[in-house]
């Protein structure tokens, strides 16, 4: 009987984030489909609260590595802990969320285990053997992969799975001891710098992706550009809706060309062929033409709407479910008013 290990790192508050719960849901389903045994492996400064939160997932074993040195992301300590958890579980399949922390650690751990790893996995099935799916060529082609090597480490793209949910209880954890040699802590973690929640415009868990295109900074009907007004309208909408902010390439590229820009927009916001492919249930595009290199980044946005002055823009050609032929300045001012204070 194969063992399927769900591997997770805890967050700063000791909880498991949504991507981890998605990986647990997928690991649980895989164990059920294979008639295998589920094990939970947890890493963090403390892991009891996280184990308790998922104690009803039906795992045969809960394994843990805990301590201050494992509370933050660092390759050496994360890899040592993950290696110990994988070895102790004897798992044939290791399922984890494709967080930045695991994405940089687990490929190395897989090499240490003599196994194989696949990243950016969006589907996991066990029919005629286990198969995973992932997208290639900027989300244009989907491939189904199988592997004979074990252990097989599978990193799931956050947002692609249904999160596990169940009642909390008390889990009995087998704690593993991972010796902290000086080599493991050669890299000292001195702190974390991140924008405040208010300044943070990229919100992967948001229900709505709001995309701003270069039109926001272009000359308008009155012969002038209104960049400051555009920035105010967009910020007001983001504050009220808690939407995630995306951009077209043209808009973020303008800063390097010395044009007037939206100050809170960076290349990290860019959606498309050379940008991100975020997953949100809904998307609203404004002042963006909807060209293919941009809309290819909308692959996983289920319901799409766009506001553009041009009735022949790219969105009108089958790229959006609804196109509002309208002035985005007027539309967003009205939307903000409707959203209220």
Ligand X SMILES: Cc1cc2nc3c(=O)[nH]c(=O)nc-3n(C[C@H](O)[C@H](O)[C@H](O)COP(=O)(O)OP(=O)(O)OC[C@H]3O[C@@H](n4cnc5c(N)ncnc54)[C@H](O)[C@@H]3O)c2cc1C
**Stretch 27-66: interaction string toward ligand X, x if CB under 6 A:** ----------------------------------------
Say how far apart CA 212 and CA 216 lie, in whole Å: 7
* Binding status of residue 289 toward ligand X by CB under 6 A: yes
* Binding status of residue 303 toward ligand X by CB under 6 A: no
Q: Which stretch binds ligand X (CB under 6 A): 119-127, 157-165, 168-176, 286-294?
A: 286-294
Q: Could you tell me the smallest distance in angstroms from the CB atom of residue 267 to ligand X? A: 10
* Binding status of residue 218 toward ligand X by CB under 6 A: yes
Nearer to ligand X among residue 85 and residue 287 (C-beta)? 287
* Binding status of residue 6 toward ligand X by CB under 6 A: no
* Binding status of residue 319 toward ligand X by CB under 6 A: no
The answer to whether the CB of 94 falls within 8 A of the CB of 119 is no
In degrees to the nearest 10, what's the CA dihedral of 292, 296, 298, 304? 40
Count the site residues for ligand X by CB under 6 A. 30
* Binding status of residue 214 toward ligand X by CB under 6 A: yes
* Binding status of residue 327 toward ligand X by CB under 6 A: yes
Q: Which stretch binds ligand X (CB under 6 A): 87-95, 184-192, 200-208, 242-250?
A: 242-250
* Binding status of residue 133 toward ligand X by CB under 6 A: no
Say how far apart CA 7 and CA 4 lie, in whole Å: 10
CA-based torsion, 294, 158, 109, 77: positive or negative: positive
Say how far apart CA 65 and CA 173 lie, in whole Å: 10
Q: Tokens 């290696």 label which residue?
A: 83
Say how far apart CA 254 and CA 217 lie, in whole Å: 9
* Binding status of residue 215 toward ligand X by CB under 6 A: yes
Instruction: Provide the token pair at 84.
Output: 């110990």
* Binding status of residue 283 toward ligand X by CB under 6 A: no
Q: Which 3 state secondary structure label does DSSP give 118?
A: strand
- Residue from 63, 80, 262, 288 touching ligand X (CB under 6 A): that is 288
The answer to whether the CB of 332 falls within 8 A of the CB of 243 is no
* Binding status of residue 269 toward ligand X by CB under 6 A: no
CA-based torsion, 325, 326, 327, 333: positive or negative: negative
């Amino acid at each position: 009987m194969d063992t399927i290990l769900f591997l997770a790192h805890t967050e700063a508050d000791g909880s498991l984030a949504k991507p981890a719960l998605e990986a647990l849901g997928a690991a649980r389903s895989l164990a059920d489909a294979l008639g295998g045994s589920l094990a939970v492996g947890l890493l963090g400064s403390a892991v009891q609260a996280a184990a308790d939160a998922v104690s009803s997932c039906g795992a045969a074993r809960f394994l843990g590595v805990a301590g201050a040195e494992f509370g933050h992301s660092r390759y050496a300590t994360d890899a040592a802990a993950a290696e110990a958890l994988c070895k102790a579980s004897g798992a044939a399949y290791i399922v984890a969320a494709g967080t930045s922390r695991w994405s940089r650690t687990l490929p190395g751990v897989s090499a240490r285990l003599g196994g194989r790893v696949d990243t950016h996995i969006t589907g996991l099935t066990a029919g005629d053997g286990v198969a995973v799916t992932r997208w290639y060529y900027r989300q244009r082609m989907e491939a189904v992969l199988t592997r004979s090597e074990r252990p097989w480490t599978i990193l799931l793209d956050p947002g692609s799975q249904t999160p596990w949910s169940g009642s909390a209880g008390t889990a009995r954890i087998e704690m593993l001891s991972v010796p902290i040699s000086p080599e493991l802590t050669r890299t000292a973690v001195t702190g974390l710098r991140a924008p405040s929640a208010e300044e943070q415009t990229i919100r992967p868990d948001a229900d709505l992706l709001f995309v701003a295109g270069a039109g926001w900074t272009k000359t308008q009907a009155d012969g002038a550009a209104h960049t400051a007004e555009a920035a105010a309208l967009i910020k007001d909408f983001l504050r009220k809706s808690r939407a995630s902010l995306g951009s077209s390439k043209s808009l973020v590229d303008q800063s390097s060309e010395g044009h007037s820009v939206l100050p809170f927009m960076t290349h990290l916001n860019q959606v498309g062929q050379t940008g991100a492919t975020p997953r949100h249930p809904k998307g609203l595009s404004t002042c963006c033409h909807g060209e293919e290199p941009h809309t290819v980044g909308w692959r996983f946005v289920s319901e799409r709407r766009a506001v553009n002055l041009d009735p022949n823009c790219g969105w009108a050609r089958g790229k959006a479910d609804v196109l509002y032929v309208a002035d985005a300045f007027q539309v967003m001012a009205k939307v903000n008013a409707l959203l209220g204070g």
